[in-house]
Structure 1
Amino acid sequence: MRTNTGRLSTRRLWALSAAVLAGVGGAFASVTTGETKATTRADHFLQARAAPTTAMPPTATASVTTESPATTAGRPVVSPVLPFNAKLTSSDIPVRGGGVRSGACSGSLIAPEWIITAGHCFHDINGAWVGGKPRYHMTVTVGKLKDGDPGGHTAQVVDVRQSPVNDLAVAKLSTAIDDVVPLTLPDKAPEVGQRLRFAGWGSTSATVVAPSDHLKRGEFSVAKIAPTTLEALPVVPRTVENSPCADDSGSPYFVSGDNRTGNLVAIENSGPPCPQPGREIIARVDILTDWIRTQTGDTAR
């Protein structure tokens, strides 16, 4: 989640070493590396998109809202293309000194009541990533390709579980979504050269930062495998439409053979200034498959 007041002068990469893997506790950790220069998406999310308002928004924003979409046999219509994609938006993120700001992230459905996204999409007023009940209202829309499409599902995030080893979180929804096939979790490690598809709702401008009104899509390949992250390169030259920009944090990198279902490999963490050349740093999911299933209650597999 990033905002449009400019990038921080120091570009940081959130990553974890093998030593962290061996000794992590219940909280995440971060280290700085000189190997890869990347703009941390969290840097932008932690800045204000506009001058903060002087008061919290009306309490009505706290209510769980549901659209009144067209229906098929009494059920909401969802996009037949990548229906598992999720758009996350908030308008009441507290800022230091008072007031609130807006922000956005991307994600994907991994269980009827759960989505996966970047850990830095949920933080306290000091910017520390946190779990539990969110400090602000985060609305999640699933099952659309454009904001104006009929149907889809809208819910609120009610609980967050932060990964113990990388910039990743799973978030519980206020309402189960049972007519979308979630992305499946990986049961093996990725390979260098593996092709991955990307889908996110981030900005389509390098200067005017705001979530897109439509789903962006692209294709990447795995360039490097680290203990908790991957580095990915675009298959074709970057544009704001085919690669991550601000507000694409948490976007899924996945494999799909039918444009409707898929297997999740990683999620967006950080990368070069949009849409400049460079490698994306994405959080591995395969190392957390068992942990995710425990958090979501899916321990039967």
Structure 2
Amino acid sequence: MRTISDRRRRFRARAVAVAVLVGAGIAFANAATGAPAGPALAAALAGHSLPDTSALGRDPAPAPPPPAPSTPAPAPILPFNAKLTSDDIPVPGGGVRDGACSGSLVARQWVVTAGHCFHDLNENRIGGRPPYTMTVTIGRLKDSDPGGHTAVVVDVRQSPVNDLAVAKLSAPVDDIAPVQLASTRPSVGEELQFAGWGSHSATVLGPSDHLKRGHFRVSAIAGSTLEALPIGTRTVDNGPCPEDSGGPFFVSDDDDHTGRLVAIVNTGPPCPQAGPETIARVDVVAAWIRAQTG
């Protein structure tokens, strides 16, 4: 005769077996259907790890796009210098010719240059939109340099005082500090630097492929112009020649990273002959320049 204790032990054994079978069935059903696991399956898997199958059946993630190419920065030395060139200047009788000038960035969308760089068929200075394409390159020391900015002139304002003009660019320049404008009268003996893109000959014209540099000293002062003599021997690479018109005469206090514009190239002796350069004062038109470009 079985005792009550025997019957209880047999009942507990059958209950354990049923629980194991039920748990196995739940595990199979979850594997087949993808249904969330119940407590029995969670208990059965405690302490074990399974491979991550979350990505099965999905398309591979797209590769990240390549980094955008960086834009070369302007030259750090005299970045405000400007080269002006044109290949469609009308001439009397029909046809066109080339021409070039030099200049400086004086505001984010304006350069200053010589007034006679913009003229009609009779060489008279003109304002407004020029009748030919004038391309301006800013922020290079050589034509082959990367970086810098290129735009075209869309408007010209002629100085009422001297042979100087400001020219508006088709696009602003935001990563170059414009040259500052001298606001006080220069003094005789003051040393100035010169920079320009003009020719290397008085007779064979054509702009330089690199920025020319030189040093001068103020020798005389007139109402709207200065005279300046070279310091040392003048050459075609350190003094103004044709197509240097508008080139800056300036001073710099930080190793030529920025500058203060004192005058610009107007006229002078045929390069590289001796004699003073006649250059247009900036201080006498500084307020006018700010009014045009502000």
Query: Fold-level match, TM-score > 0.5?
Result: yes
Contact 1:76 1:153 in 2 (8 A): no
Q: Could you tell me how far apart the structure 1 residues matched to 2:183 and 2:198 are?
A: 28
Superposed, 1:1-20 pairs within 5 Å as none
In the other structure, the counterpart of 2:149 is 153
Match of 2:233 in 1: 237
**Does residue 1:262 correspond to 2:259, yes or no?**
yes
2:192 is the alignment partner of 1:196: yes
Contact persistence 2:154–2:168 (CA under 8 A): yes
Tell me the residue number matched to 1:210: 206
Structure 1 residue 95: Cα displacement: 0.6
CA distance in 2, matches of 1:97, 1:241: 34
Following superposition, the deviation at residue 186 of structure 1 comes to 1.1
**Separation in structure 2 between the aligned mates of residue 92 and residue 111 of structure 1, nearest angstrom:** 27
SS in 2 for 1:290: helix
State the shift of 1:73 in Å: 8.4
Q: Quote the residue 1:290 is aligned against.
A: 287
1:110 maps to what in 2?
Answer: 106
Distance 2:87 2:109 in 1: 22
* C-alpha distance in 2 between matches for 1:165 and 1:206: 27
User: Are 1:142 and 2:138 an aligned pair?
Assistant: yes
CA spacing shift, 1:173–1:144, aligned 2, 3 Å: same
The equivalent position to 1:248 in structure 2, one of 222, 244, 252, is 244
| 8 Å contact kept, 1:93–1:102 | yes
Amino acid at match of 1:280: E
Shift in Å at residue 74 of structure 1?
4.2
* CA shift for structure 1 position 268: 0.3
Deviations 1:24-52 (A, max 9, x none): xxxxxxxxxxxxxxxxxxxxxxxxxxxxx
Q: Which moved more, 1:203-212 or 1:230-239?
A: 203-212
Structure number having the greater helix percentage: 2
Among 175, 179, 183, the alignment partner of 2:179 is 183
Rounded to whole Å, the distance in 2 between the matches of 1:151 and 1:204 is 25
Task: Trace 1:80-95 onto structure 2 (pairs within 5 A).
Answer: 80-95=76-91
1:127: Cα distance to partner?
Answer: 1.1
- Amino acid paired to 2:271: C
| 1:75 CA drift (Å) | 4.2
Q: Structure 1 residue 280 and structure 2 residue 261: aligned?
A: no
1:174 aligned partner: 170
Change (3 A) 1:261 1:73: farther
Query: Partners in 2 of 1:165 and 1:148 — Cα distance?
Result: 37
Aligned-partner SS, 1:116: strand
| Whole-angstrom CA distance in 1 between matches of 2:95 and 2:183 | 44
TM score, norm. by length of structure 2: 0.75
Q: Tell me if 1:132 matches 2:143.
A: no
Letter in 2 for 1:114: W
* CA-CA distance at 1:204 after TM superposition: 1.4
Equivalents in 2 of 1:127, 1:164: separation in Å?
A: 17
Given that 2:183 and 2:282 are in contact with CA atoms closer than 8 Å, whether structure 1 keeps it comes out as no
The 3 A distance-change label for structure 1 pair 146 and 229 is: same
> Do the aligned partners of 2:71 and 2:147 also contact (CA within 8 Å) in 1?
no
Report percent identity of matched pairs: 67
What are the Cα deviations for residues 37-88 of structure 1, in whole angstroms up to 9, with x where unaligned? xxxxxxxxxxxxxxxxxxxxxxxxxxxxxxxxxxx98444200111110000
Structure showing greater relative contact order (alpha-carbon pairs closer than 8 Å, 6 or more residues apart): 1
User: Do the aligned residues in 2 keep the contact of 1:231 with 1:281 (CA within 8 Å)?
Assistant: yes
